[in-house]
């Protein structure tokens, strides 16, 4: 037998072994050797998560924003991490979202951090506190001035991983059954208002009531409350508060920024592949940008409609009333620092940043708005 024939036989044997190995690999993966990408997809385990929210189903901006996050995570992961959204009451009541995810009954929730003030008095710093910073300043503090690190540390105590995931901007001060002409008009006033702002209202002589969004309208209709804040013209128009009263005040002292969160069960998050972790982070960041743009545009149109079509009277609070709101806010917010070591760190980080932002404000958007409005 010639050397040429021996070499040819060895080549054929090697080719046969390689083909057999490829066939076995394809069979084991459920794919085919000529479509390795499909084989890789099949190998990847599909993960299904539940997202619960504090918002009514498909509610403009808030509910639809949460749905966009769920859809984007599912889409960007090519279905490897499929997120199904459950609105308030569909899986758990609105104010039980935090514990549901903590206990891994669901893996994510979309809400406002100040709803969890009973867990820790410093929770509202990551959503919105009375007399606080604007949405853009809040983003800057969380992303670039230490806020996220402190937020991670606090939520890790509850087995959660938080992300900013939307913002409705500066909120309106609320709807009132009677006109607000002086501080005396707050005496005995029952108002739906959350977070640290609830304590401010109490110190003004009113009584704060905690209600999820879906329960506000019935309470206002029945007289169980005399006033309510919710969000702003777009969402307030959707709820129909103008059908009960025409007195609408703003801006709200309680939420110059109203940041929202999409938080996940920490253990479940840590078990994900790194690319899926990045997808969640990027989906939340995308919504954080998109939502405030949507609210800004929609609030302009909705405010015009409330005034021109529904006869709503929109006013600023009287100056002495707003001044009292701001001074009491400073007291209430500073008192959170005595709750513990981490609480003090959060307050000091936030208040230091706020003061620096205030020194800059005369020369940024704040200064421009003030000067241009009086030009």
Dist. CA 267–CA 249, nearest whole Å: 43
Residue 107's domain comprises 45-167+258-294
Residue 109 lies in a domain: yes
Dist. CA 261–CA 59, nearest whole Å: 16
| pTM across the whole model | 0.87
Identify whether residues 235 and 182 lie together within a single domain. yes
Task: Give residue-wise pLDDT tens across range 130-148.
Answer: 999 999 999 999 999 999 9
Residue 55 lies in a domain: yes
Q: Does 354 score more than 70 pLDDT? A: yes
Residue 107 lies in a domain: yes
Q: Would you state the pLDDT for residue 15? A: 46
* Of 356, 328, 295, nearest in space to 60 by CA: 295
Concatenating the DSSP letter of every residue in 302-348 gives: HHHHHHHHH--EEEPPPHHHHHHHHHHHHHHHHGGGGG-HHHHHHHH
Residue 344 lies in a domain: yes
Q: Would you state the pLDDT for residue 70? A: 98
Does 35 or 362 have the greater pLDDT score? 362
Q: Would you state the pLDDT for residue 375? A: 87
Q: Does 34 score more than 80 pLDDT? A: no
Percent of the chain topping pLDDT 70: 88
Contact between 292 and 167 under an 8 Å Cβ cutoff? The reply is yes
Q: Does 24 score more than 60 pLDDT? A: no
Identify whether residues 78 and 161 lie together within a single domain. yes
For range 316-345, the mean pLDDT: 98
Give the domain-ending residue among 294, 322, 351: 294
Residue 74 lies in a domain: yes
Identify whether residues 287 and 306 lie together within a single domain. no
CA atoms within 13 A on the CB side of 137: 26
Q: Does 12 score more than 50 pLDDT? A: no
pLDDT band at 20 (very low <50, low <70, confident <90, very high): very low
Phi-psi region of 174 (alpha: psi -120 to 50; beta: other; left: phi over 0): left
For range 208-217, the mean pLDDT: 95
Dist. CA 176–CA 238, nearest whole Å: 17
In the chain, what's the furthest Cα-to-Cα distance?
113
Identify whether residues 334 and 227 lie together within a single domain. yes
The CATH number assigned to the domain holding 203 equals 3.40.190.10
Other C-beta atoms within 10 Å of 343: how many? Answer: 19
Residue 161 lies in a domain: yes
* Of 235, 373, 238, nearest in space to 316 by CA: 373
Q: Say whether 179 sits in a helix, a strand or coil.
A: coil
Average pLDDT of the residues of the chain: 91
Q: Would you state the pLDDT for residue 30? A: 45
Q: Would you state the pLDDT for residue 137? A: 97
For range 26-41, the mean pLDDT: 49
Contact between 254 and 117 under an 8 Å Cβ cutoff? The reply is no
Residue 355 lies in a domain: yes
For range 232-246, the mean pLDDT: 97
Residue 1 lies in a domain: no
Question: Could you give the C-alpha distances from 13 to 273, 304, 348, in angstroms and in order?
Answer: 40, 80, 73
Contact between 365 and 244 under an 8 Å Cβ cutoff? The reply is no
For range 1-19, the mean pLDDT: 46
Number of domains the chain contains: 2
For range 35-62, the mean pLDDT: 81
For range 28-39, the mean pLDDT: 50
Query: Per-residue b/e over 265-302, b at no fewer than 16 CB within 10 Å?
Result: bbebbeebeeebbebbeebbeebbebbbebbeebbeeb
pLDDT band at 356 (very low <50, low <70, confident <90, very high): very high
Identify whether residues 156 and 227 lie together within a single domain. no
Dist. CA 330–CA 82, nearest whole Å: 43
Show the tokens assigned to 361.
């404000």
The CATH number assigned to the domain holding 76 equals 3.40.190.170
For range 54-80, the mean pLDDT: 97
Q: Would you state the pLDDT for residue 36? A: 52
């Amino acid at each position: 037998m010639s050397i040429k024939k021996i070499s040819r036989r060895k080549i054929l044997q090697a080719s046969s072994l390689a083909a057999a190995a490829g066939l076995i690999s394809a069979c084991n993966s459920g794919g085919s050797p000529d479509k390795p990408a499909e084989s890789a997809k099949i190998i990847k385990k599909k993960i299904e998560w539940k997202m619960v929210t504090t918002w009514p189903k498909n509610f403009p901006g808030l509910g639809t924003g949460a749905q966009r996050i769920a859809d984007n995570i599912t889409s960007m992961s090519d279905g490897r991490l499929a997120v199904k959204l459950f609105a308030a009451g569909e899986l758990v009541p609105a104010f039980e979202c935090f514990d549901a995810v903590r206990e891994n009954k669901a893996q994510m929730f979309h809400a406002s951090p100040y709803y969890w003030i009973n867990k820790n008095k410093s929770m509202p710093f990551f959503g919105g506190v009375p007399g606080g910073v604007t949405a853009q300043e809040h983003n800057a503090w969380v992303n670039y001035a230490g806020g996220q690190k402190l937020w991670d540390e606090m939520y890790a105590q509850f087995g959660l991983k938080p992300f900013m995931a939307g913002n409705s901007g500066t909120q309106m001060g609320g709807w009132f059954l009677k006109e607000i002409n002086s501080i005396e008009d707050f005496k005995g006033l029952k108002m739906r208002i959350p977070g640290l702002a609830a304590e401010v209202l109490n110190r003004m002589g009113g009584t704060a009531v905690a209600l999820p969004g879906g329960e506000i309208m019935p309470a206002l209709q029945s007289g169980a409350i005399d006033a309510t804040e919710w969000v702003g013209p777009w969402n307030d128009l959707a709820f129909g508060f103008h059908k009960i009263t025409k007195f609408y005040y703003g801006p709200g002292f309680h939420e110059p920024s109203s940041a929202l969160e999409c938080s996940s069960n920490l253990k479940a998050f840590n078990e994900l592949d790194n690319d899926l972790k990045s997808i969640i982070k990027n989906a939340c960041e995308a919504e954080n940008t998109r939502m405030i743009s949507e609210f800004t545009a929609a609030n302009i149109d909705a405010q015009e409609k409330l005034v021109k079509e529904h006869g709503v009277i929109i006013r600023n609070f009287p100056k002495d009333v707003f001044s009292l709101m701001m001074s009491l806010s400073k007291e209430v917010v500073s008192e959170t620092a005595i709750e513990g070591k981490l609480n003090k760190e959060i307050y000091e980080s936030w208040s230091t940043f706020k003061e620096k932002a205030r020194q800059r404000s005369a020369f940024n958007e704040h200064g421009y708005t003030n000067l241009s409005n009086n030009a």
